[in-house]
A and B are shown apart, each in its own frame.
Chain A
Amino acid sequence: MPIDPGVVEKVLERFSNDITESFADALSPASDPAVTIGLNEIVPSEPVLTQAELVAVSDALVAIPWSYNCIHTGVFVGIPATYITFELRGTTFVDPRDSNPHQWTYYRYVDFIGALHQIGVQTSVRPALTDEQYLNWFKETHAS
């Protein structure tokens, strides 16, 4: 049975709190509102999809693509504050089947690499492998 539209409304009212609270020690809102629903096209344009079209609802989950306009004010994934304003992007899947909203479960898929690039962290570094992984890499690359 699909999730009740009234519950979906409650999810949309609450999901941004999960984002701002999860990153409260690292990121500060840079605008009001700071969290908006959207797919963040690379080239800004008129919104292609409405909010109703952006939010997907199944029998168990509400999926919301979002963008958080924020300032890097604390330790973010191990990176000390740079005070750079950037867009953190992601999608949150909320399981709102419990009648108590405090017991809802949130699953987030966040574009951390895009965030790191925006705050000046390059990810094209030499990967550090364990000895087993390294020997496997050597075997794969020197097979001939």
Chain B
Amino acid sequence: MPGTMPYVLDKGPYFSVVESRLDNLPTRAQALLDLRAMAAANGQGPPGTMVADICGFDSKNLGSPNPPTGDHRTPAARKRHLNEDWFGMSDASGVWRKQPPPLNASTGCWANYAGDAEAILREGMIRAIEVSFDIPTGGPPPADVHAIPQWNQAVAWQANHSPTSRHWPIDVTWICQGPFFQCWVTWRRLNDSPTGGHVNVLITTPATEPSPMTAPYPITARITRPIPPDTTPPGPDYHCPPVATAAHTGDRGIWVIGHENYRQIPMPSTGGTNSGGMNMPSLGWVPLDTAVVVVEPAEWEGGVVPPGRAYQP
């Protein structure tokens, strides 16, 4: 994530770009073939053959370190972030390799979690694409969708073709809290038209611990903020209530609905009492105001912009 992740659920610019690439059917079909091919080396290998290489991290609208815009990262830094922090990989040998964490240690930045996050995410995306195309596990892409690795050619193909096979859109969202790294694929069919349904990929990850490119991000009890913590946010700030164009006319949206803010009620256990009367420790949350608010999170804090973030090679 390019921002500070104050919320429990995130999409943000990176997953918006992933969705944009998957919206292009030849690219989606190619991604399916690429992800399956990666299984032979369990997702490891030289640069250019990894999950990180098909996410659209080179999209020009994600930002740049010089001049500092967006996430302030280079495409290479984004790939390194995914490989090192999400997958626990190292390229010290010149080839990306997974680093089995020792007992009771962490994978990448995932605190106290030792698992193959890359394989889980890869399998989750494979399954989501298969559901979107209505093909059995391991089956070929639809006959009327060509897998095309080159983006401009894929865009041109899609502009001139209207596949009649199923190609439901795919949403990707992320909940960072733990304790396990998992991918949840859900879907819903509405009708028999090619786009008569949708697929959701929900990635759940453990909480983060510090790494060169991540912080152990806390979440906030308050779903609005008095001021943006970043004086130069890479995009529009949050809205409460959501702006009209993002509500019912926008192509995409993420809202969080809840009480705006809470106060903590901690209860220690160490106060003196008579025998048998120990106070149990607890942490309660009490809303400051019981009104329910609707907030459209800023994109850089996990939300989306209404038109989406189209991949820009």
Contacts and interface: CB of A to CB of B under 8 A. Distances in A.
B158 interface: no
A21 B276 contact: yes
A97 to B, nearest CB: 12
A135 B229 contact: yes
Interface stretch (B73-81, B122-130, B136-144, B280-288): B280-288
Nearest to B8: A126
B269 A108 contact: yes
Contacts of B209: 124
Nearest to A138: B229
Interface residues of B, number: 43
Contacts of A108: 269-270, 278
B111 interface: yes
B276 A128 contact: no
Nearest to A23: B278
A77 interface: yes
B222 A124 contact: no
A126 B273 contact: no
B313 interface: no
Interface stretch (B31-39, B48-56, B94-102, B212-220): B212-220
Interface in B265-279: 269-278
A122 B178 contact: yes
Interface stretch (B84-92, B193-201, B256-264): B256-264
Nearest to B216: A126
Given A108-B278, A126-B216, A141-B215, A131 B273 contact: no
Interface of B: 4, 6, 8, 111-112, 176-179, 206-209, 215-222, 225-226, 229-230, 261-264, 269-278, 280-282, 285
Given A21-B276, A77-B280, A127-B218, 7 more contacts: A101-B275, A103-B274, A108-B270, A126-B216, A126-B217, A129-B218, A138-B229
11 contacts: A22-B277, A78-B282, A104-B275, A106-B274, A124-B112, A126-B219, A128-B221, A130-B221, A130-B263, A134-B220, A142-B229
